[in-house]
Amino acid sequence: MAHDENGELPRHDETGPAGETDPIEEVDPIEEVGRRLTAEFAGVHERDTVGRCVEAARHGALEVAGGAPPGLVERIARRHLQVLAAVAAEKRRRGPRSSLGNAP
């Protein structure tokens, strides 16, 4: 296969619905995990919180298992987000810890 002037292999294009060609976009599977979990936990956790959980799950999987397949990262991150949601719900149920209303 011929390389271009930068030494890269040429990218293949796909034909879109109207016949135009669109470059194939490489999708990061971990970003897809983040998108799915952000949608799943919308209204429960902020996007940044989900992103931090996904990154922590990826790093944890690499550390413990030596690899971070997207399915494992998703399971770890989802469980962490569920625990965070349960803790937040319990805090709301118990109410404020101070009669002044200034406690977290």
Q: Please tell me the distance from the alpha carbon of residue 69 to that of residue 74, in angstroms, as a whole number.
A: 9
* Domain layout of the chain by residue ranges: 43-93
Query: Does residue 26 carry a pLDDT above 90?
Result: no
SS3 category, 13: strand
> How confident is the model at residue 30, as a pLDDT?
96
In 16-99, which ranges are E strands?
Answer: 21-23
pTM for this entry: 0.67
CB 26 within 8 A of CB 35: no
CB 67 within 8 A of CB 61: yes
52-102 per-position pLDDT tens digit: 999 999 999 999 999 999 999 999 999 999 999 999 999 888 887 666 666
